[in-house]
Amino acid sequence: MTSARSVRLSAAIMSHPRRAAAARALAASLPELSPTVVFDPSGSSGTLATARLAWATVGPGATHHLVLQDDALPCEDFAERVRDAITDHPVASLSFFDDWGGRTANMVRIAAMRGHRWAEVATSYVPAQALVLPAAHAATFASFACPDDTPDDVALYEHTRGLPRYVQVPNLADHDDMVSLTGNHPMGVRRSSCFTTDPSVLATGSGVTEGLTIVPTPSWASGAAEIHVRRPGGGDWYVVTGLDLLRHHRITASDLENEFDAARAVLPAKAARLLERWLWELWLTSVALGVAAASGGHAADTRNSTARTALSTLAPGVLRLFVDVSDLAAVEGAVTGFVQTGADAGIAWCRKGTVTSFGDADLPAEYFAETSGNHDLATLPKPGG
């Protein structure tokens, strides 16, 4: 078994000449790691060339290598916590940050409700804001063959095929809201899916949430309650509306509406006005997350500190293009309570047997007949029908 004492960690910070001050400040804040600061060799806005240099700085005798981007915001005692985390999965790709608006973020939320410490990366890129690889994999990334214009997180995903890819729950780093140098500013503010500065929370949780075939993943481009589905073992993800999939799993529209009306009735007027256009979609997503967390007999809890933190980022992660994040922060407690109520409803429907499972086995084979695309389950046969 790998112990924290046996982990020998080298580190680098990848940066751009325009962010030299931020990179050096980050390095100075991590003296125990003595990270090497690597700058974009071309001064362009691409990331791959810089990433190759950063991953090539594996220290002599290192067992693992950490690369941070210059706008990472590590937690207190970051280096110690990273070494401890590596002992869980010494031969894996370990991300310590994930953006609050993607599919992996919702794996993180499900993991938080299950009390798990790790969540599977469920995207076709590796969250690379704060990433550790085994030294051998880190060192060979510099020579990994891929087109020069490939984003570094996509190239890292291809390079780590054969390794488990996990994100720690809660995240050990957040993301500073600097102007993007890689053209990501149209995506809005991108903060952590589950970041906390509470050291007692950082030490909790065990186990991994992985292998899910249904992950509620609302669209940050539209705010719609979408659910992503794949076959066991991976493969392409398909998209279906949240209402259709919940009805397909025996949760009726009237039940959803009744619970929604009750939750909306206790939402403060300021929060209700701010989110009026998106409340129903946010509700469907919250219910689906609760169902996903509790399906298969898993114990799920929205009230533990990590779960509450993860659920608190759902609304800003999804709605950051439509609602000012600072306005959402002003009503965070009420909105988080609304999301928790929805997740609790989904958990309750699992516990009383309304939903017996939540996976691809419940879907007709015709659903997977297409190679990709968006599907409407309303026209497909219901289980037992």
Q: What pLDDT, on a 0 to 100 scale, did the predictor assign at position 363?
A: 67
**Contacts of the segment 269-272: beta carbons below 8 A, 24+ positions apart:** 270/330, 270/331, 270/334, 271/331, 271/334, 271/335, 271/338
Q: Is the pLDDT reported for residue 381 higher than 80?
A: no
pTM of the model: 0.92
Cβ contacts of 282 within 8 Å, gap of 6 or more: 218, 223, 225, 275, 314, 315, 318, 319, 338, 339, 342
Tokens found for residue 309: 């933190």
Q: What pLDDT, on a 0 to 100 scale, did the predictor assign at position 376?
A: 47
Q: What pLDDT, on a 0 to 100 scale, did the predictor assign at position 74?
A: 96
Q: How confident is the model at residue 362 (pLDDT cuts 50, 70, 90)?
A: low
Q: What pLDDT, on a 0 to 100 scale, did the predictor assign at position 382?
A: 34
In the chain, helix, strand, coil percent, each to 5? 45, 15, 45
What crossing angle do the helices spanning 103-114 and 279-294 adopt, rounded to 10°?
50
The whole-angstrom separation of Cα 44 and Cα 367 is 43
Quick one: CATH architecture of 4-209? Answer: Alpha-Beta Complex (3.90)
Q: What pLDDT, on a 0 to 100 scale, did the predictor assign at position 41?
A: 86
Q: What pLDDT, on a 0 to 100 scale, did the predictor assign at position 35?
A: 98
The whole-angstrom separation of Cα 245 and Cα 236 is 18
Stretch 205-223: mean pLDDT, rounded? 92
Q: What percentage of the chain exceeds 70 in pLDDT?
A: 89
Q: What pLDDT, on a 0 to 100 scale, did the predictor assign at position 250?
A: 87
For 2, the enclosing helix (H) or strand (E) is none
Q: Is the pLDDT reported for residue 341 higher than 50?
A: yes
Domain ranges within the chain, ordered by starting residue: 4-209, 214-368
Q: Give φ, ψ of 265 to 5 degrees.
A: -65, -30
Q: How confident is the model at residue 224 (pLDDT cuts 50, 70, 90)?
A: very high
DSSP 323: S
For 216, the enclosing helix (H) or strand (E) is strand 214-216
Rg (the chain; Cα; Å): 21
Helix (H, G, I), strand (E, B) or coil at 241: strand
Helix ranges restricted to H, the chain? 20-28, 48-55, 78-86, 103-114, 135-140, 152-159, 199-202, 242-248, 253-265, 269-275, 279-294, 305-312, 314-319, 325-330, 332-351
